[in-house]
Each structure stands twice: as structure tokens, then as C-alpha cells.
Amino acid sequence: MSQTIQFPPDFLWGSATSAYQIEGSPLADGAGPSIWQRFCAVPGNMRDGDTGDIACDHYKRYKDDVALMAKLGLKAYRFSVSWSRILPQGRGAVNQAGLDFYGKLIDELLAHGIEPMVTLYHWDLPAALDDRGGWLNPDIADWFTDYARILFQAFDGRVKSWATLNEPWVVTDGGYMHGTLAPGHRNLHEAALASHNLMRAHGSAVKAYREIGRHQIGIVVNIEPKYPASQFQEDLDATRRADAYMNRQYLDPIFLGSYPPELKQMFGDAWPEWPAADFELIGQKLDFVGINYYTRSVVRNEPSNWPLKVAPVRQPQATYTETGWEVFPQGLTDTLTSFKQRYGDTPLYIMENGSAFYDPPNAENGRVHDPLRVDCLRKNMQALSNALAQGVNVRGYMVWSLLDNLEWSLGFSKRFGIIHVNFATQQRTLKDSAYLYADIVASNGACL
């Protein structure tokens, strides 16, 4: 039954993007290449051979895009900084032109009354650091912290909300376990090491922020709640393995001081005994946690599936998005209430939530009709409100995404934007979901 939809008076409504997915001009003004530059250059890695060379051309069109955010009445905008624009070699000499771009973007946002929320790392590692082992090299915690300090010192006076990493699980699972994302490795030992080094780097950057920062810092994790396909023990165990690997692997070490025991069972000798000092670093107190929610999965035991021995079970009556994700708004409520139950009352932001559906290629009387995305947005608003009614400390919501953009190795084939982008002309057209979201923001959800 749907309860009354209600949001706190100061609820922060915004949208989210990431550098490589929208900016284009990846090597402009002294920037160095990232691992995504390299990954896109390998034939077969990217759907239709798409790359981030132009994407949404946001590097050049950011003023127009900020004007669109203002037209929608957004209060906040979550974006990521491209590490290799700031440090073309990943460390060492700073590229002032890179800092200047983000300074101008931040000033444009502030001039429109939009709060900038900055993600330090959204997957585009400098290629020069990958040449030194990247996330496999323990020194990366220091490299990342040096990069973070540069941004804290440059922008902390104007940026009040920092996130260290976006979705460390995806970086590890896609980039090192299955090879579907940059840098394209498929190695169990590397996956474990990269994952741990990501968390060390996260903790080190938070510690550095406490020395120079004056506002708030957190991490952004993707959470996909897991539901057993049956009550048979083998499926219950499989569900626990999947939850440990995708969800608890990142929040347990931060809040509980250790990894879920299932990881050692799954990874075997690929999962070493990590030094105790690492957990002290990883467990730095956070001001918030960002949650990215898209879907759930129903899990069964599948011994043949390396290395988790689990498999998803498709739900015949459900609606699925273009990315093959079940539309399951209850999973958003369950994710939030489960977080509160396991980890406590740390403030939360929904830093990404959205859906990829096929949109008509052309506008009709000036707007693109996206009924399935509109329906999804409405249902997720209800689910979010239900979690708030149960006392979960959610402070804001960033819709993914402001613009149709490069969906990583799926290229431009999957559209998540509430604003349609014609990638041939770079024309932006508001979708019905943009108009709905503008009403939600203006009425603080009362329009629903």
C-alpha cells in the first residue's frame, strides 16, 4: 500500500554525472590519458566502438548544462573530477588548466545557487599510474591522497561535500575480476588486491581531509539487495555470498572493522590476511555514505559459476530496463532500512538512482516522451519516502543522470538521462521525466 509521500524540508534534490561519461575533450589543455582512453582504443571493448572523445561535449558546454540544471530548479549537482586533468601523470606536476576547468564549473554552479558535490574518483585512473600497477600498487593510497589534497586545498572553500570513490565494487568486479571495464583484467588475486587498495586509498584521503577540510566527506557505494530464490539452504548460502561480495565487502570494513568472512571462503588463497593497520585507516569516521540504487537480484546457488557460485533468477512478471535490471523499488526501501539496521544512523544520500529505457530518437512538440522512466521515478520516490517514514536518515537524492551519456563499455546505447542528448548534434531536449523531476524538486515531492 502506498503511504503518503513526504520529504524533510531541507531535502537536497539534484542530479549526478561523471567526468569520462559526459565531458569529452579528454586530452584538452594538458590533460593526460586515463585508463578509459586506452580501454576504448582496444577494438571490441566498446559497444559500436563508442568512446569518451566527445561524449556530451560538457567540457565545452558546461555553462549551457548548468543553465539546464537551473531551469529544472536543481539544488545540487554531483560530478566527478578527472584525475588526469589535474595530474596528467597521476602524480607530480599539477596541470593548472585542469584545476581551472573545475573551478569555473564550480563557480558556475554556485552562481546558479546549485551546490557542487564532488566525487574524487569515478573510474578514470590516469594511464601513467596504471603503468605503475594502478590499484594493484599499494603506493596508490599515497598517490590518491596527494591528488585529493590538491583538490581539497583548491576547492574546499566552495565545495561542501566530497566523496572519495564511486562504487569500488564496480571498479574491482568490472576492472579486475571480469575484465569488462578498464583496465580489463580478469584475475581473482588482482581483484582482491585492487579492492583492498581502493579502500586503503579511501581511508587515507578521508584522514587527509580531516587535516585541511572544513565540511563533509564520504564514500559512494552501489548497493544491490539480494533475495534468495528459495528457502533451501544452498540458496540462502548463495544469497549471503552474493551480499557479502557486492555490498558488505565495502561497508563492513568502514563501519565494523573487518571484511565479511564469506570473502575468504570465496577467494581462498587469493584473499590474504590484511594488516590490522589497514583497517584502522579504512575505518575513518565518515560524515555520510552515498548509496547508488538501481535494482535487486534474486539469487540461487550455481556451483559452476566462478568464483561466487551464484546465479541470478529472472522474475517473469517484472519490468526490466535496457540494462537488464529488474524494476524493484521495494529494494530501495530495503537497502536503506538494512543500512540503518546494520551500520546505524550515518547520514545517507541517494547519489544515483535511475533507469535506462529506449527513448524515441526525436522530440515531439519540444520534449522526448519517456513513460517508463517517469513511472520508475514515481515508484522510487514512493520507496524513498517509505524509508524516510521508517526513520532512515536520508538527506538527499541525485537522479542518474542529468544527461544521456557514455554508459561505459555499453557506449551510448543505454540512455539514463532525464535530458535527451542527440550525440550527432549535441542538442539537449528535456524528457517528460525532466519535467516531472522539476515538479518534484519544486514541490519537495508534494506533487506526487
Ligand X SMILES: OC[C@H]1NNC[C@@H](O)[C@@H]1O
Q: Annotated active-site positions, please? A: 167, 352
Task: Let me know: does 330 contact 1? Beta carbons within 8 Å.
Answer: no
Shortest distance, position 413 Cβ to ligand X, whole Å = 12
Question: Least CB distance from residue 157 to ligand X, whole Å?
Answer: 28
Closest of 58, 168, 74, 165 to residue 116, by C-alpha: 74
Closer by beta carbon to ligand X, 18 or else 145: 18
Strand-pair category, 427-430 with 348-352? unpaired
Q: Which of residues 176-215 bind ligand X (CB under 6 A)?
A: none
Within residues 42-101, the interface with ligand X by CB under 6 A covers none
> Closest separation between CB of residue 89 and ligand X, Å?
24
Which C-beta is closer to ligand X: that of 98 or that of 174? 174
Q: How far is the CB of 214 from ligand X (least distance, A)?
A: 28
In the set 57, 124, 167, 334, which binds ligand X (CB under 6 A)? 167
Q: Which is nearer to ligand X, 95 or 292 (CB)?
A: 292
Q: List the one residue from 15, 18, 239, 335 that touches ligand X (CB under 6 A).
A: 18
CB 79 within 8 A of CB 17: yes
Distance CA 92, CA 343 (A): 38
The single residue among 34, 172, 197, 292 that binds ligand X, judged by CB under 6 A, is 292
Residues 364-423 that bind ligand X (CB under 6 A): 400, 407, 416
Instruction: Give the distance between the most distant pair of CA atoms in the chain.
Output: 61
Q: Do 436 and 372 form a contact (C-beta atoms < 8 A)?
A: no
Name which of 247 and 292 has its Cβ closer to ligand X: 292
List, in order, residues 6 or more apart from 171 with CB less than 8 Å away. Answer: 123, 135, 165, 181, 194, 195, 198
Residues 47, 303: Cα–Cα separation, whole Å: 30
* Cβ nearer to ligand X, comparing 267 with 416: 416
Size of the site for ligand X (CB under 6 A): 8
| Residue 352 binds ligand X, judged by CB under 6 A | yes
Long-range contacts of range 183-187, CB-CB < 8 Å, 24 or more positions apart?
183/35, 183/38, 183/39, 183/125, 183/130, 183/134, 184/39, 184/42, 184/45
Binding site for ligand X (CB under 6 A): 18, 21, 167, 292, 352, 400, 407, 416
